[in-house]
A and B are shown apart, each in its own frame.
Chain A
Amino acid sequence: MRVEKVVVLHNETGLHARPAMLLAQSAASFKSRVTIAKGEKRVDAKSIISLLTLGAAGGTELTITAEGADAETAMQTIANMITGDFESDDCPDKKKMPDGH
């Protein structure tokens, strides 16, 4: 299953380190392949470095594409993070320790 959606990045300070990290961690939890595109540039949403390299400032239009079994859920979660406020979405993630592999 493949879904695509265009959203606007809400966060004022843009897709900097912390939001990118939260986004990457969230995307990684899904089986689907998730990509985010800014204009012509498309990157793997599970890669924090690629997301950062996108250099998306607040108010930028981003296209989310998800492909796989859980594409719909993945899309919704990611879209909410981007259009919402990353900070308020991070409560459940804050305490979790990333595992080491």
Chain B
Amino acid sequence: MEVKRGIPVSHGIAIAEAFVLDSEEAVIPRRQIRPEETDHEVQRVHDACAQAIKDTLEAKSVAARTIDEEFLAIFDSHVTMLQDKSLREDITRIIENEQATAEWAVQQVMHRFIKLWSTNEFLADRVGDLFDLQKKLLRSLLGKKRQGLNAPAARFVLIAHNLTPSQTVHLDRSKVIGFATDTGGRTSHTALLARALGIPAVVGAGDITAEVNIGDTVIVDGTSGVIVCRPDTDTLTSYETRVRNMRVRQAKLSLELKDVPPETQDGYRVELFANIEFPEEIPAAIEHGAEGVGLYRTEYLYVQKGHMPTEAEHFQEYKKAAELLAPRPLTIRTLDMGGDKLLEETGGTRESNPSLGCRSIRFCFEREDIFRTQLRAIMRASAFGNVRVLFPMISNAAELRKAHSILNEVMDTLKNERISFDPNVRVGIMVEVPSAAWIADILAKDTDFFSLGTNDLVQYSMAVDRGNERVANLYQPAHPAILRLLQHVIDTGRRTRVRVGMCGEMSGELSYTILLLGLGLKEFSVSPAVLPEVKEIIRQVTMSDARTIARQALAFEQVEDTIKFLSEKTREILPDFA
């Protein structure tokens, strides 16, 4: 049994057999062999080389019909590499010393050379040949077996080097019940999509693809970030029990709590909203008790298409969402992506520091055409439901005024075109740049509501890139600096009569619910899956207790003490809170 850790990005526990994909998206087969199988494995390597040579010569003769002879040398050099005795010796040595399969040994040896050659400027260009060689050998070794492994019949946990957003979206949820990847960070789109799809997931687990073999039983705990490979009986039983209890509790909560308000014992009522990526998530969110959508992320429109979304494409989605949710409020956030992702489309230049660069609202000011297209679509959709506009990454008052002025122009144009929209649309801003948090009182004059974007607020404040495994532990929403900042914004909102909500992940973290309640947060926008539990906590406490607890939490100097304190308080309410 091996226990690995990664970054938890999507709640839940998945227990199943593993299916493993490496960085080449080749299937990495079983690692261990028995001593008596050694000779057989070594022979397989020889056979695979012979087959690969045959295939290469065949490819060469096909190529010879159309390509000049001087270019055929590449095939010859591949053949020579396949005949290379020291390569075979290296592979054989690994099979013998590590009791590994031929495929594993081939991969290890090739990876070593690839790494070696990649650092040599002279050889870096030839690394492609090594990848080719590896593919040829693996293809020979895996042969027919490969087909079978590509389509597991039963439910499984996917272990991969990396998963792109579109791969994540296309996962067959009836089969893939959880996944874990070597790379990736908490705020990557893959992580967000995993949450939206409700699949337990852990990313940034380092070398999990090296640790897990196909067919191993694996437990992926997307709540704690733990991955257990080949669990022993006790561990397995304990996790299975947890899963069973979780399911029972969630079903119970959903049923019991669906129609009751998020109100404290002493009658203080807050609002519970949902964060969504796609309009299709809305019905499920409502089922979970969402009273609105506090954050509708629109980036998927820019990522999936491969071209800049047209006004019609925007409008179609926003209208759908507004109608599904009406009369509940739908908060649509304008483009919050890095310009680098949109580079191909817009022909811009690479930035050395994209996260602090021309992204989000700044990019929208640079490309007003893109901004107006989205705003037009949002305003048109406002005629079909209860729409709110949310501007991200505002860092000063001038930006806010500019955003408003563009929005007003858009509204004027629509009026002239006699296209209907809701003129009373509420317009708010994400409070995520620390400067905006500190001048909340100034921005309050031009804002209908604030939405605390704690993900970025914490990153900017603590100077931490959450996706960087080396410093990710410095990302601490409960840090006294953050708590004081949150208190400041919420107090300012109260004073200036501007509603303050939170759509960052912190709002859905159960150990912070009482704290946020106590600070005076009025709107919690969370992932639909945790809505019932957040509601449960709110309903079990009194506002006066929450205020006391918040005050106590803010007094701690060390974040570890704050967390311990809050976890204890939460456990008193939710006994099986981990």
Contacts and interface: CB of A to CB of B under 8 A. Distances in A.
Interface of A: 14, 16-18, 20-21, 24-25, 43-44, 46-50, 52-53, 55, 57, 94, 97-98, 100-101
Nearest to A17: B77
A100 B53 contact: yes
5 contacts: A17-B77, A25-B80, A48-B77, A48-B81, A94-B69
A11 to B, nearest CB: 13
Given A17-B129, A44-B85, A100-B50, A52 B123 contact: yes
B53 A53 contact: no
Given A17-B129, A100-B54, A53 B117 contact: yes
A14 B121 CA distance: 12
Contact of A14 (B57, B69, B85, B122): B122
Given A53-B113, A97-B57, A100-B57, A46 B85 contact: yes
Contacts of B69: 94
Given A18-B73, A21-B77, A100-B54, A53 B116 contact: yes
Given A47-B86, A100-B54, A16 B81 contact: no
A41 to B, nearest CB: 12
Given A55-B123, A97-B57, A49 B84 contact: yes
Interface of B: 50, 53-54, 57, 69, 73-74, 76-77, 79-81, 83-87, 113, 116-117, 120, 122-123, 126, 129
B57 A17 contact: no
A15 to B, nearest CB: 9
B84 A24 contact: yes
A100 B289 CA distance: 68
Nearest to A24: B80
A18 to B, nearest CB: 6
Contact of A55 (B83, B84, B120, B129): B120
Given A17-B129, A21-B76, A100-B53, A57 B83 contact: no
Nearest to A101: B50
Contacts of A53: 113, 116-117, 123
A100 B126 CA distance: 23
A98 B87 contact: no
Given A50-B84, A53-B116, A97-B57, 15 more contacts: A14-B122, A20-B77, A21-B73, A21-B76, A24-B84, A47-B85, A47-B87, A48-B80, A48-B81, A52-B117, A52-B126, A53-B113, A57-B122, A98-B79, A101-B50
B277 to A, nearest CB: 47
Contact of B83 (A14, A17, A98): A98
Q: Which of B80, B81, B87, B129 has the most CB of A within 10 A?
A: B80
B126 A16 contact: yes
B173 to A, nearest CB: 44
A47 to B, nearest CB: 4
A17 B113 contact: no
